[in-house]
Structure 1
Amino acid sequence: MLHLALQAIKTNKLFILDHHDTIMPYLRRINDNTTSKAYATRTILYLQNDDTLKPMAIELSLPHPDGDQLGAINKVYTPPPADHKEEGSLEEIIWQLAKAYVAVNDSGYHELISHFLHTHAVIEPFVIATNRQLSVVHPIFKLLHPHFRDTMNINALGRQVLINGGGLMEFTLYPAKYCMEFSSSLYKHWNFTEQALPQDLKKRGMAVPDPVSKHGLRLLIKDYPYAVDGLDIWSAIRNWVANYTSLYYKTDDAIRSDVELQTWWKELVEVGHADKRDEPWWPKMRNRDELIESCTTVIWIASALHAATNFGQYTYAGYMPNRPTISRRFMPEEGTLEFEEMRENPDRAFLRTITARLQTLLGISLIELLSTHSSDEFYLGQRDTAGWTAELEAAAAFERFGKALTEVEERIVERNGEENLRNRYGAVKIPYTLLFPTSEVGRTGKGIPNSITI
């Protein structure tokens, strides 16, 4: 058995969904001071021959009752064997509950970190510094301005009704009153350069450098829709940024001698992200490569990354048992009334464990709103002002960007038509369209707006 596990690790067949170390510091307070009863979790997944991931084991952890210095109390659950997997069996309901505890953690992490922190929150200093330090005729202002539209407005509204004390986030997610503290603590590990998609994929162990592969990366899971579509979008954005900035900065000296640009970057790093100002990973903004990579990353965060984390929320979480946000009691122990209830009526036991009715109603209403495109949306490759530039070469480069995105759309449609790519549909046959650049009005599960407007 050990030999097989080592072989799976060596051949990049094992993956981990790790919600242990990030949650454990808050778990005692969450379980003692809120109505949530949650675990820190680790999930081991095996990459099968059809490129789908199969969960093989789930570890549920609680703080040691005699103190954190004694570590954690862990229990591991595995899928029921084939002869005990019938619907309603005790082994199956225990496994379903174990997966629900993982989904609760993943829902909280998604909303508070992947969505709020890594898009809404971190982009705000870029909006402020750009408007404070770059004139409206500066080429970088013209490049980035469409990607900041309405972001400050929606963030201000969010602070009033969503992420405020006693707001909807605290009511519908398991960290409850610790939501913002949890999000803030994870900001300590934030790295701007790692939000570039290629760097993100490498950091998470989903890709390795490969100069002969497309985009210079080899995905360890070939059928990974977010990465495959995302790298096409990333490449289109980067080419557009490179073509545009090359019109105004012919040399690295032009970057260093641009006083507005240098003042903008200095404020962004030293004021906008002041507690990160001394991090060694910040680009120094001394050459064209740094400018191109930084602007590409900003546009990626404000457009495609936000689209991927936001507009599919209702599709995946609109049915609460598929994506619970709160667990209200621990895994039943043998010999208790809860265990007998789980044995006699597993559906009722499951529903009494996950998100309650009122929180479900409010939570689903919220993600339905968040997943809806407005009628005045402008999508990647579009501008809200026709005369945004008098430079014919800049306008031509932007037109090429739009055509490149149209080609990406065509490739996404083709990939979604390939039946062997099972991760693009899943068991319920919903195609992966979150990085399809354009969309109609409404809740479509596709479309990449220029900016964070919802």
Structure 2
Amino acid sequence: MFSGVTSLVNRGHKIKGTVVLMRKNVLDVNSLTSAQGLIGQGVGLVGSTIDNLTAFLGRSVSLHLISATKPDENWKGKVGKSTFLEGIISSLPTLGAGQSAFTIHFEWDDGEMGIPGAFYIKNFMQTEFFLLTLTLEDIPNHPNLKIHFVCNSWIYNAKNYKTDRIFFSNKTYLPGDTPAPLVKYREDELENLRGDGKGERKEYDRIYDYDVYNDLGNPDSNEKYARPVLGGSTLPYPRRGRTGRPPTNKDPKSEKRSDFVYLPRDEAFGHLKSSDFLTYGLKSVAQDVMPVLTDAFDANILTLEFDNFAEVDKLYTGGITLPTNFLSKFSPLPVLKEILRTDGEQFLKYPPPKVMQVNKSAWMTDEEFSRETLAGVNPNVIKSLEEFPPGSKLDSKVYGDHTSTMKKEHLEPNLGGLTVEQAIEKKKLFILDHHDYLIPYLRRINSSKTKAYATRTIFFLKDDGTLKPLAIELSKPHPQGEEHGPVSDVYLPAHEGVEGYIWVLAKAYVVVNDSCYHQLVSHWLNTHAVVEPFVIATNRHLSVVHPINKLLSPHYRDTMNINSLARKALINADGIIEQTFLWGRYALEMSAVLYKDWVFLDQALPNDLIKR
């Protein structure tokens, strides 16, 4: 401890505190996620020296304790005298990596001030820091009492805030049980978090407000990058956090995109999840690596299609060997150079899936196709078959008759002696249905480089508890118009000759549809997007001292952060999702169409399983 500083402090009848914080350069999201910052600044991220921390001494950071038991004339908890951080604690067993602890002492008259339950903090430095905790002990007349404040918040220069930053002790209260001297402070803090709905949000803001998804497109750049607004009666969608950026020139309903995507500051916690790095890494590859690869190789090598299975297999056995002079192009991008390996060997080599490690052809079997329908990435669509042939909810006046063309004779030879009606009654038939939501978009999807079918797949539940595929229906738009209904063909299991290969291709079309649905609906929409308005609502309406806030906060961590990064590089117009998934530029729009059928109470077990 700095004896020269601490000797100036009169310790008589004072509350002792320990403040734990982290400096910006330890947790700086921007420096960590930049290509050069990740490796080039690595040295600066290691450790904390006494010299660097002396900047916190003196009168740089002040705190005021607030009473939870003694009100002032306005019935708000009395505010204690200002006090400042003192010496750094050189050793504290509970400190984590990059954390620093400081002592602080508060003048406090127990008879007049009671027991503290909150505190104000002001930062007079130009650089922000991350405040983790404050612990109080030596409370007058309460020798065994320790009061903990879990803060986990960025503290910017005090001039950036309209009202002083306040934190409450780590004790929960329902609104009716909140100590009266803290009630007004609690209400004022919620009002600050709601904001006024005006202006463009700044990096240091902590405002939780709602907006529609109107920042995915970039119509000012090119009309092909225009995207519809998601949110509202036409294309309903969960709300995102409001950023307040100005509208685009060509579409006043759309918001201008920028490199900075605001989210409430404390949602951008510095300890990044791997998915954050993945987002930035993929964006770097898309923007920096692919153009160079295109120049370095014959264009045919980097097409978006595989000509045969051998090309697919090469990604797992050999990868791509880069030209010897290729890495010299990445001297300013050390992260990418690291990703591409120093020798340039086996770039884009992937570990083989577990199923292929056992048997390279196992993925082609009906057993594996059925197993992955339940145990793969998307077990969320398959449901019990309740009518045969499967019907459609599409408007027949617009899209014609979309009743399935499957016949009983397609299924009954493989039902173990049961009729279709008996199998349905015994809950033995299941359907993986990717038909109705695809049909309205299929003609537009197929007008691009990709080609797809709407699919229906029927499975039979065997006595051993496993599924067996019975038939796959592939449907495409009628060449004479939507009102004529689809052109559909039914394919049955085959394992030899041309029919065997066609059956494998039919299953591939099903898997592609299921994979797209997983990523855009089961994953992005139903896992990420629908949670964001709950994050916003919780912070706007439930104080941090509310027990439900304490319960939900850990589950919300990183959600808004990941979602903002997704809007920046993954789900935006011509972003990674649109470039690599079948639905292309209609990906998010189609997820909005499917959101119309989303019901909150159906999401959890057992309701979801009962519904299906």
Q: Give TM-score, length-normalised by structure 1.
A: 0.43
Higher helix share: 1
Structure with higher Rg: it is 2
Higher relative contact order (CA 8 A, sep 6+): 1
Higher strand share: 2
Q: Give TM-score, length-normalised by structure 2.
A: 0.32
